[in-house]
Chain A
Amino acid sequence: MKSPALPSSLFKSLLSLTLVACGATPVPRAKESPGKAVDVQAATSMPDGHPDVPVGDPASNNDRVGRAARRLNVEQLRASLLAATGFTWVASRRVSDPDSPTGFSQLPDADMLEAFAATLGRPDYVTSTSESIEPAVTFAKLASDAARVACRTAVKADVEGKSPPPRILRHAGATDTRASNESAIRKNLGYLALRFWGRHVAPEDPQLLPLLTLFDKASTAAAGVDTNGTKRVAASPADGWRAVCIAMATDPQFLTY
């Protein structure tokens, strides 16, 4: 039997048109039904001439848009530090050891985030079965400790060129200061905003000013003795980048998602 050529080609054309039409609508509408998860596909870009799609209605959403931000849990914090700096919080730690004559032994490279996981909110399924992701004082302090260790190691590795490509000093040299090369400093700060916070911030954006000030103070500090008796030599740009790294890794923009 001879196949009907016209209807077949017409069908293919209609199918192609349909696919093209679907492809021209890259932002599918979220479908919600009670008890089911919302399936939202990521949009690449809006088609030409498409009107702006509002991200939400702040007036009816308690002045906010999108879903509520959440604090990172322990695993996310570790993964985020590793992704941003290449390092996490590893330190020497005294642990109980029944086989030791003193009852304790010293672990030289303990994963401190693992050691403090319960304090940071991970459930132990004995006394707690739900994860705490409240922005507690404990979390603030320990996350800051973790950031300090990771940033110290990352900046040192970048300055010494041990782990190319550099993660922190990507667009600024190890000797660049605000006075000698402000544009490089600003460009690197913008890059770090993207690296740590996932935000595009232009080098000339005023939002970078507090970080620029911090870098300047930390990289130009004079030699002296701290109140706890620690002697300090004159600061270098590496000190400035370490301070910037700590500030970014302890910023709520890094610690929430």
Chain B
Amino acid sequence: MSRKYARPGFSRRDLLRGVLAASAAGFASRLGIERLASAATARETTRRFVFAYFPGGWDQLLFLDPRDTEANEKRFDDSNRSTTLTETRYANLEGHNGFTPRLIKAGNLTFGPATEKPASPAPKLSKYFEKIAIVRGINMGTLGHEVGYRYFLTSKFPAGNTARGTSIASECAAQMGSSAPLPALSLRVESYNDRYPGQYSAMRVDSIDDLLQVLDRGKDLLERDAVEEALADYAKTGTSCDVNVYDRRGILSRMRGADSTAHSTLASQLAQRFRFVGSDDEASQKVRAQYGFGKGDAGSPGARAAFAAQAIKQSVAQCVSLVIGNGTDTHFVGNPNHADALHPGIAALAALIDDLAKSDAPAELAKATGGKSWLDHTTILCFSEFSRTPLFNQFGGRDHHLTSSCLLAGAGIVGNQVVGASGEVGMGSGRYDFKARRVVSTGGENILPEHIAATLLASAGLDPWTLRDPKPPIPALLPGGG
């Protein structure tokens, strides 16, 4: 290829990135969080991330942002709904499928009544309150499912329904320079990558069977060893210049990278570690009991959570995204049915946290950061695209509501605290003073998904200012305030 085709050493994009980085650093300094701006110096490369998505929009009154109907002279009693514009109807849960109308309090956290079934022997989320932080009053800025979903995935507001930017999972994997067989693995969650090499795009699978199909190749499809080696050698052969000149966005080289990863993944025989849904061996039975699903029930939230745990614990993937919840887009049903839809995902999340907390991390990881369990090396983000209205509609259900909450747990997150708040009337998005680290009635700003993404990155010492629309992390959630 002619020398005139050579890529210039410094492109306009590089220049823009430099200006953006300088601006972001200045912005951070003005906020008084200089240490966060230089967080990249303490970059962790061994951190694991789990992104657990509850599809459909959850009712936060039943989970992360409940109202205590007995407190403040029964301010949130349903009889005051005309002034609070909030109606809990918790009493409807009495005696329904093991739920009670009572809130679940643990440390500084309060969970809604769909979080746990008190008599159930399954792992309880509240048991791990010291590892959990809740962010409330997040302004999602949309009532559209796809928009809110993609906004949280990429921390960049979509253009129409179309996602922009890179999924935070891929962002984390790329910034860590993940060398895991699958840097990012996605079970039924969309994945985007608009600027990193192809190996950081999530391997997207629709079911555990699909993952097995990807991790394994049947004998009938294998050529003899010598031919497999020759095919692998051929795959590394470069394409001629007259083809490469049409490769405007580097897709040919990214395809070769993906092909190479597929070869190494097959060679590592990872499939054996994901046969817990249908196998009868002792380890598989133990996994099914731990996560509360039956043999063959691959589509249950428990099986999906177990899939995430296995991917983390077996070091198959470094960033795992999964649809952990069942659909909760319940416009026409009340609390009991919504709780039935919401709880299995929460129970699966509790089992996942319990599993990671009780599983020892490899010695080299423990030596690197001091954490003994897998939960000490894994950060979990739990989110939905938005929430449900605080008032019931004419059908006795709840519609879409702008203000939502999320849950962060595990490594790099200061637990046992609630950050932000929804409004006292109608649960609007609250204002939060990032510098004073408290909810304010005037001034401050809304907490947005951008803040959550920045916090996740900063929690592992990754650079939050590389995001397309960077916002500062939430200092209160970071050890030592960042």
Contact = CB atoms under 8 A, between A and B. Distances in A.
Contacts of A256: 251-252, 255
A119 B214 contact: yes
B223 interface: yes
B246 A66 contact: yes
Contact of A136 (B161, B239, B247, B258): B258
Which of B188, B233, B262: most chain A CB closer than 10 A? B262
A214 interface: yes
Interface stretch (A39-47, A127-135, A170-178): A127-135
Contact of A66 (B198, B206, B237, B248): B248
A127 B323 contact: yes
Interface in A207-257: 207, 210-211, 213-214, 217-218, 221, 224, 226-228, 230, 232, 235, 239, 242-243, 246-247, 250-253, 255-256
Given A136-B203, A137-B214, A230-B219, A58 B4 contact: yes
Interface stretch (B64-72, B100-108, B224-232, B436-444): B224-232
B206 to A, nearest CB: 4
Given A66-B248, A214-B230, A140 B259 contact: yes
Interface string A88-129: 000000000000000100000000000010110100000111
A65 B245 contact: yes
Given A59-B5, A68-B249, A218 B230 contact: yes
Given A69-B248, A138-B214, A218-B230, A250 B259 contact: yes
Contact of B217 (A68, A121, A129, A145): A145
A142 interface: yes
Interface string A32-65: 0000000000000000000000000011011111
Interface of B: 4-7, 55, 146, 161-163, 182, 188-191, 193, 198-199, 201-206, 210, 213-214, 217, 219, 221-227, 230-231, 233-235, 237, 239-240, 243, 245-249, 251-252, 254-259, 261-262, 265-266, 296, 323
Given A70-B251, A226-B222, 16 more contacts: A61-B248, A68-B251, A71-B251, A103-B296, A127-B190, A137-B261, A140-B261, A141-B214, A142-B213, A199-B243, A214-B233, A221-B226, A224-B225, A239-B223, A242-B223, A253-B252
27 contacts: A58-B4, A61-B248, A63-B5, A63-B245, A64-B246, A69-B247, A70-B251, A116-B210, A119-B205, A119-B210, A127-B190, A134-B193, A135-B251, A135-B257, A136-B202, A137-B199, A137-B262, A138-B210, A140-B258, A148-B221, A217-B230, A226-B224, A226-B225, A239-B223, A246-B223, A252-B252, A252-B255
